[in-house]
């Protein structure tokens, strides 16, 4: 199995997860591939609903410099970390859901700056990605308490700020993130807790400019229940849309911006995304 097929397999099996981690893995695989066009097609199709992979590979086909691109993503992650850390104060409780390497970068930076805070996170069924977040935070010596998904209100109501990652951002400003994200955002809104989306701007999905509805991925129903009784239907949506009116701002390498301003800044800084 070559590096491209191996990467595609690991993405589909969720051994590589998180939009930015998937994009980085795709860049590395593309760089080692002999047939770049075939590699691009396979890697994009591994997660066709994720725009960051498409946008990153689009840059590679133009500039063909994977090392430079990976360096840019590392620098951008540091910028997001610093912007996000500004929203954390001593004594804060931070709530987050699922696993976002970008959110962890924000929390890592706040810790590096000497801020004292704790994190509440939810388990994120059926694959428990919240455990990845909790494990990473524990290694950073950031106090973290995990809650069952159904205890999300308890995890959120005493929080000071909510940080979520993003799988995609649409032209209308909707943020698509792990299932449960919209529900938890609505809970945060009810307690007047600010909601920040931490995401690289290349998660903007240019196809949505032309009226194309962003497909919400569904996975195998046996992930929820392998042998349900006859007559029981299973729903296993992986993501859901968050209304931009429920989001305080999007924190990206371009700054801390309202959704509509964010899209204009993406257009200004990366016009090639819109071509």
- Joined tokens for residue 110: 């706040």
pLDDT beyond 70 at 3: yes
Closest CA to 16 of 41, 62, 51, 53: 53
Rounded Cα distance, 271 and 275, in Å: 7
Q: Are 88 and 118 in contact (CB under 8 A)?
A: no
Rounded Cα distance, 213 and 208, in Å: 6
Rounded Cα distance, 15 and 19, in Å: 12
pLDDT value of residue 17: 84
Any residues with CB less than 8 A from the CB of 199 and at least 6 apart, and which? 19, 80, 100, 102, 165, 166, 169, 175, 250, 251, 252
Percent of the chain with pLDDT over 70: 100
Element (H, E) at 250: strand 249-252
Confidence class for position 232, pLDDT limits 50, 70, 90: very high
CATH topology assigned to domain 77-211+235-274: Rossmann fold (3.40.50)
Specify whether domain 3-64 bears CATH 1.20.120.420: yes
Q: What is the mean pLDDT of the segment spanning 165-182?
A: 96
Residue range 28-79, pLDDT digits in tens = 999 999 899 899 999 998 887 789 999 999 988 888 899 999 999 999 999 9
Query: Any idea where the domains of the chain sit in the sequence?
Result: 3-64, 77-211+235-274
Q: What is the mean pLDDT of the segment spanning 12-39?
A: 90
| pTM for the structure as a whole | 0.94
Which residues are tagged catalytic?
98, 167
Q: What is the mean pLDDT of the segment spanning 4-31?
A: 91
pLDDT value of residue 1: 67
């Amino acid at each position: 199995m070559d590096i491209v097929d191996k990467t595609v397999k690991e993405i589909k099996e969720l051994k590589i997860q998180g939009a930015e981690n998937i994009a980085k893995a795709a860049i590395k695989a593309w760089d080692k591939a002999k047939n770049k066009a075939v590699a691009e097609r396979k890697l994009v199709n591994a997660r066709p609903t994720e725009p960051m992979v498409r946008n990153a590979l689009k840059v590679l086909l133009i500039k063909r410099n994977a090392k430079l691109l990976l360096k840019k993503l590392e620098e951008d992650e540091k910028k997001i970390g610093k912007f996000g850390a500004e929203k954390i104060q001593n004594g804060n409780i931070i709530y987050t859901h699922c696993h976002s390497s970008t959110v962890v970068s924000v929390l890592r930076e706040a810790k590096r700056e000497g801020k004292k805070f704790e994190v509440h996170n939810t388990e994120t069924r059926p694959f428990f990605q919240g455990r990845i977040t909790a494990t990473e935070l524990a290694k950073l010596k950031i106090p973290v308490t995990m809650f069952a998904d159904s205890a999300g209100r308890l995890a959120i109501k005493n929080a000071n700020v909510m940080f979520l990652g993003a799988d995609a951002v649409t032209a209308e400003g909707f943020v698509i993130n792990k299932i449960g994200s919209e529900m938890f955002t609505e809970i945060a809104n009810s307690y007047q807790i600010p909601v920040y989306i931490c995401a690289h701007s290349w998660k903007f999905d240019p196809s949505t400019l032309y009226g194309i509805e962003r497909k919400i991925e569904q996975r195998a129903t046996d992930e929820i229940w392998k042998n349900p009784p006859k007559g029981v239907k299973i729903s296993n949506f992986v993501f859901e849309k968050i209304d931009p009116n429920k989001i305080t701002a999007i924190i990206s390498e371009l700054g801390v911006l309202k959704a509509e301003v964010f899209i204009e800044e993406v257009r200004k800084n990366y016009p090639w995304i819109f071509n």
